[in-house]
Chains A and B, each alone.
Chain A
Amino acid sequence: MSDLTSAAAEPADAAEPATSARDGERQRFILEDTGFDEVPKKYRRFYRKWKGPGDRLAPNEVICPVCKVVIRSSRTLLPGDRVYCMPCMSRLVVVRNDATGELEGLVAY
């Protein structure tokens, strides 16, 4: 198990799939509270603020296209995964942007 704090401090290149994901297994992350205070305490570790264009996402993170909060999962995200943005109450499907190679959240109404 690796700690997301270290993963967030030195995130893998978002354009490259995580090694473990390439090997067919997902890396697990221990999520810690990042100070995000817009959801009840028990859910706070699943979200963090986006710091702007220079903010690189870890392999277990994706940005909510509706409210721009970073959504975090306890495992590496892959296309087809479903995640929830609690701050804006959206359900998202993770997809890979063909142009950039990066993972994105697509709103699933």
Chain B
Amino acid sequence: MDIHDLDPETFLEEVHSFEFWFQAVEGYLSGTTWGHRPDAVETPMSEPDRDRLITVLCNYCVGEAAALEGASGLIAIAPNRLAKVFLSTQVADEGRHLEVFYHRMRDLGVGDPEREVERRASPSLQTFRRRLLELVASRDWEAAIFAQNVILESLEFAVFQDHARTADPVTADVLRGVVKDERRHIGFGENELGRRVATAPHIRARIGQIKNELDHLVLEALEETTRHLGMPRTDHERLGRAYLESVERLGLVG
């Protein structure tokens, strides 16, 4: 049978299920240890490179912690069963991401990763995390999903993908696994909001406000991260494009 012949309801039921998630992650996580293949080898790294990587990982941890806390809080206010089940799989993904990034820092010789995150993380990203959790606490479903699954996840998706191309073999392997999870998260966010905006266009103005308030925080963190990774400014703009394309598809430009 051609998958594309499924009726839309059957498709949505399938892809939002734990059964789908189990079989999907089994494909790329089976046999990995702390998010990477056991045969991925450590390569020599200069002290400045190691230090920059630790700072980048600290920022990744703040983003993942925000998404973990956000997604778990959103389950309570999700409007239907499929969204609740999907978010529960996202919580598992985000918890795993946080764990593998912390573990990578320990691999790099960081004795107390939590303290290092507090010390090094981007203030913009920490402000974003606080605001996201306020939106969740205020039960603002559309605003919180936009902040978390569109702004945060799409920028993480772009940065992790790019970083995996230049990172050391172990970090690259960890990032590739995370990117595969992020694909589901960005898709859920855009499609959920797209359906809501289609049936209640007034939501668009509210999401536009959230965009204006919050996206610069993540874009600033993106700029900081790309600088640590030694990428030129043109790359920073290119990485923001996936997010801007998503915003454009949702009709939130302007």
On A, residues with C-beta under 8 Å from B are 37-41, 43-44, 46, 65-67, 69, 71, 73-75, 81-91, 107, 109
Interchain residue pairs with CB less than 8 A apart (21): A38-B28, A38-B183, A39-B20, A40-B23, A41-B23, A43-B3, A46-B2, A65-B249, A66-B187, A66-B190, A67-B157, A67-B187, A69-B183, A74-B2, A87-B183, A87-B184, A89-B16, A89-B191, A90-B191, A107-B194, A107-B249
User: Which residues of chain B come closer than 8 Å to A65, judged between CB atoms?
Assistant: 245, 249
B182 → A minimal CB distance (Å):
9
User: Which residues of chain A come closer than 8 Å to B191, judged between CB atoms?
Assistant: 89-91, 107, 109
CB-CB nearest in chain B for A77: B4
Asked whether B188 is an interface residue with its Cβ less than 8 Å from the other chain, the reply is yes
Q: Which 6 A-B pairs have the closest CB atoms?
A: A88-B187, A109-B194, A40-B23, A37-B27, A89-B15, A89-B187
On B, residues with C-beta under 8 Å from A are 2-4, 6, 8, 11-12, 15-16, 20, 23-24, 27-28, 157, 180, 183-184, 186-188, 190-191, 194-195, 197-198, 245-246, 249
A109 near B198: Cβ-Cβ < 8 Å: yes
Interface of A, secondary structure class, is: loop
Cα–Cα, bound, A66→B250 (Å): 11
A37 → B minimal CB distance (Å):
4
A46 near B187: Cβ-Cβ < 8 Å: no
A40 → B minimal CB distance (Å):
3
A89 near B23: Cβ-Cβ < 8 Å: no
B29 → A minimal CB distance (Å):
10
A66 near B186: Cβ-Cβ < 8 Å: yes
Cα–Cα, bound, A73→B246 (Å): 24
